[in-house]
């Protein structure tokens, strides 16, 4: 059954004997009830989600980091003498530095730019390149550290879009999907790799997905979602994505909250019935079979 916000409001009013049929009254008798319903509904959604009945959703992440043209990047730790790095057909660059010195940039063996380096903490430098052959000459004035030097074969839209070089890339899932709660499974489809379930990922905190840059491809992330919150701006045709057994409890909880001043006995009866059903749902979730995981030598999970 498809439940809309209008149907939840109507069912709640019917439990409070404030509506009959399929029409929500448009008068002062239900004005306060309607105004209070979003908060009561959100309280119910919060308690229902904690019984383990999350809705599974998926989001596709295209993970295609631009490769560093330096095949074996290294840090120049405490650079005390000049150091040169050359590359052909590079379009942009990135590095971090700490200390004091000078960077001379040669394009096709002609000095193109001189950049002063002076920072007590790590600072970023990025920019575009022209020509066929580029040479970076780092000249330290005091001990100078160059970190995460990268040349890229592409011209990005703007300089600030030139990425920092890292061996992994991070994706904030709460930014990508607003209803994210917890990752359930991840599937990977890469170059010369069939669609497969994978564990080749990590997490920072509870919502930052970390993917390795040496495994580009498409990642399908299945996640447990939080219910969307209801506001006063939620339209009547908004469709809930909860299963029917949870949706049937929403009007019961809303009525138990809003009907207390009118008839405490009936409101208490609704709340007791709600709590009994909530306990049953929690018990069903606890007794549900759990999946087992294993890692095979072939890389399948």
Q: What pLDDT does 281 receive?
A: 85
Label residue 186 exposed, middle or buried (CB < 10 Å: 0-12, 13-18, 19+).
buried
Give CA–CA dist 137/250, Å, rounded.
68
Question: Taking the CA atoms of the chain, what radius of gyration do you get in angstroms?
Answer: 29
Give the rounded distance of the alpha carbon of 249 from its chain centre.
Answer: 30
- The pair of three-digit structure tokens given for residue 123, joined into one six-digit string: 């600072």
Query: What is the per-residue burial (b if ≥16 Cβ within 10 Å, else e) of 174-185?
Result: eeebebbbebeb
3 state DSSP class of 62:
strand
Contacts of 194 (CB under 8 A, 6+ apart): none
Question: Where in the chain are the domains?
Answer: 5-54+226-287, 76-161, 169-225
With CA atoms as reference, report the closest residue to 154 among 33, 246, 274, 69: 69
Q: What pLDDT does 118 receive?
A: 96
Q: What pLDDT does 298 receive?
A: 34
Rounded to a whole number of angstroms, the distance between the first and last alpha carbons of the chain is 35
Q: What pLDDT does 288 receive?
A: 52
Q: What pLDDT does 286 receive?
A: 62
Helix or strand run (H / E) with residue 8:
helix 5-15
Pairing of strands 208-212, 217-225: unpaired
CATH superfamily to which 76-161 belongs: Galactose-binding domain-like (2.60.120.260)
Give CA–CA dist 274/271, Å, rounded.
5
User: Digits of tens for pLDDT over the chain (301 positions)?
Assistant: 789 999 999 999 999 999 988 889 988 989 999 999 999 999 999 888 777 667 889 999 999 999 899 987 776 778 989 999 999 999 999 999 999 999 999 999 999 999 999 999 999 999 999 999 999 999 999 889 999 999 999 999 999 999 998 889 999 999 999 889 889 999 999 987 888 999 999 999 889 999 998 899 999 999 988 888 999 999 999 999 888 888 999 999 999 999 999 999 999 999 999 999 999 888 876 665 443 333 333 333 3
CB atoms < 10 A from the CB of 61, how many?
Answer: 18
Give CA–CA dist 263/257, Å, rounded.
11
Q: How many residues does the chain have?
A: 301
Q: What pLDDT does 146 receive?
A: 93
Q: What pLDDT does 197 receive?
A: 93
Q: What pLDDT does 52 receive?
A: 62
């Amino acid at each position: 059954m498809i439940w809309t916000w209008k149907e939840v409001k109507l069912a709640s009013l019917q439990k409070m004997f404030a509506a009959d049929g399929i029409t929500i009254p448009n008068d002062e008798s239900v004005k306060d009830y309607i105004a209070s319903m979003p908060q009561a509904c959100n309280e119910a959604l919060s308690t229902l989600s904690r019984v383990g009945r999350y809705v599974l959703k998926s989001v596709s992440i295209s993970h295609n980091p631009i490769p560093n043209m330096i095949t074996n990047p290294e840090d120049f730790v405490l650079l005390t003498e000049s150091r040169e790095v050359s590359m052909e057909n590079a379009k942009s660059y990135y590095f971090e530095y700490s200390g004091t010195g000078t960077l001379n940039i040669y394009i096709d063996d002609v000095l193109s730019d001189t950049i002063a380096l002076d920072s007590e903490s790590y600072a970023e430098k990025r920019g575009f390149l022209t020509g066929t052959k580029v040479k970076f000459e780092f000249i330290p004035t005091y001990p100078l550290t160059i970190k995460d030097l990268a040349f890229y074969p592409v011209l990005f839209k703007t300089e600030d879009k030139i990425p920092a070089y890292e061996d992994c890339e991070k994706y904030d899932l709460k930014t990508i999907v607003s209803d994210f709660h917890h990752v359930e499974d991840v599937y990977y489809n890469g170059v010369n790799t069939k669609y497969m379930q994978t564990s080749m990922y990590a997490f920072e905190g509870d919502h930052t997905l970390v993917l390795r840059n040496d495994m580009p491809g498409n990642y399908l992330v299945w996640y447990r979602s939080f219910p969307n919150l209801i506001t006063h701006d939620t339209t009547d045709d908004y469709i809930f994505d909860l299963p029917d057994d949870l949706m049937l409890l929403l009007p019961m909880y809303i009525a138990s909250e809003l009907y207390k001043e009118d008839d405490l006995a009936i409101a208490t009866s609704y709340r007791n019935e709600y709590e009994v059903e909530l306990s049953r749902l929690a018990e069903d979730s606890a007794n549900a079979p759990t999946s087992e995981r294993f890692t095979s030598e072939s890389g399948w999970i």
